[in-house]
């Protein structure tokens, strides 16, 4: 009924790509938004939302940020569309990665990214080892992120202290979406970390013990008296008895008594078995004369 062309109503409506002035979040009017500095999302003007709603885009909304002067780029999500026209507000760590200053022009382009499968991180300081459960802390931090880009250095706040972590690798591409995904995480050794040096064993004589051979006999040192007198010589007989204690006597014979194992054969004492010559009596004969 009405012959109206779409391009006449919405002229030059194509993929979203704008040149905006970049500012840190702390310069935004209104209340302070500390959560923006801790995450990976930016604030765009209202016109960006109007443009994107007229397009058949896929959610979540992800954007590619490019510093065309230095050919540096990163990726991010969007938190709100409340910025002034011609401006966008970024987290401070993201501005450092792009090497861009306040008020400089940045290119903002809508993009689509694959879902993340793997990411590898490298802490930029050995202080990161103080965190008892780094994977849990990283997982809690990435809740404020929409995507990851290889080469970015993100900031993790834990116990009122900031730790910088570099993204060494992402799969399946160098930029991935981490919204509603199962991602494997790995850590590289922190920058400046050195493996503990093991004590050198060179020059130390190793003693090997073979269980199949008889161990070497222990040397018994001779003691000295504190008063300077000569030490009493031990009784050889008692020492010999002590050394043979608990040794089975295999030459034992019934009727032979031996009080110790060290004796001469002439000292053997034969014990003859003596049987009493007893005669039995009948109970009815007890008390009567034989």
- Residue range 83-112: average pLDDT? 94
What pLDDT shows up at residue 164?
93
Confidence of residue 138 (pLDDT cuts 50, 70, 90): very high
Average pLDDT, the chain: 79
pLDDT band, very low/low/confident/very high, at 222 (cuts 50, 70, 90) = low
pLDDT of residue 93: 92
Select the more confidently predicted residue: 175 or 226.
Answer: 175
Q: What is the DSSP letter of 102?
A: T
Q: Who has greater pLDDT, 230 or 205? A: 230
Judge whether residue 23 has pLDDT over 70: yes
The model's confidence at residue 197, banded by pLDDT at 50, 70 and 90, is confident
Query: Residues 33-69: pLDDT tens digits?
Result: 777 888 999 999 999 999 998 887 888 899 999 999 9
pTM (2 decimals)? Answer: 0.63
* CB neighbour list of residue 252: distance below 8 Å, 6 or more residues apart: 258
List of E strands, the chain: 17-24, 41-45, 62-67, 72-83, 87-90, 105-111, 118-123, 147-149, 153-158, 161-171, 175-177, 184-187, 256-257, 269-270
């Amino acid at each position: 009924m009405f012959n109206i062309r779409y391009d006449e109503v919405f002229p030059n409506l194509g993929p979203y790509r704008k040149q905006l002035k970049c500012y840190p979040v702390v310069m935004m009017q209104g209340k302070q938004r500390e959560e923006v500095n801790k995450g990976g999302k930016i604030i765009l003007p209202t016109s960006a939302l109007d443009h994107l709603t007229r397009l058949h885009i896929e959610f979540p909304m992800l954007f590619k940020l490019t510093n065309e002067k230095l050919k540096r780029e990163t990726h991010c999500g969007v938190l709100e569309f409340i910025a002034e026209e011609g401006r966008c507000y970024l987290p401070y760590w993201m501005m450092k990665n792009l090497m861009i200053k306040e008020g400089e022009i940045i290119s903002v382009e809508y993009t689509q990214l694959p879902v993340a499968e793997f990411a590898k991180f490298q802490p930029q300081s050995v202080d990161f080892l103080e965190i008892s459960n780094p994977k849990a802390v990283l997982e809690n931090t990435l809740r404020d992120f929409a995507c990851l880009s290889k080469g970015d250095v993100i900031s993790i706040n834990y116990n009122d202290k900031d730790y910088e972590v570099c993204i060494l690798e992402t799969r399946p591409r160098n930029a991935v979406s981490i919204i509603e995904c199962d991602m494997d995480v790995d850590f590289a050794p922190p920058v400046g970390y050195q493996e503990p040096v093991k004590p050198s064993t060179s020059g130390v004589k190793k003693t090997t013990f073979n269980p199949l051979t008889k161990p070497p006999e222990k040397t018994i040192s001779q003691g000295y008296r504190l008063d300077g007198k000569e030490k009493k010589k031990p009784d050889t007989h008692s020492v010999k008895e002590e050394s043979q204690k608990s040794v089975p006597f295999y030459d034992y014979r019934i009727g032979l008594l031996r009080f110790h194992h060290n004796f001469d054969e002439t000292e053997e004492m034969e014990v003859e078995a003596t049987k009493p010559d007893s005669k039995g009596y009948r109970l009815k004969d007890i008390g009567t004369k034989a």
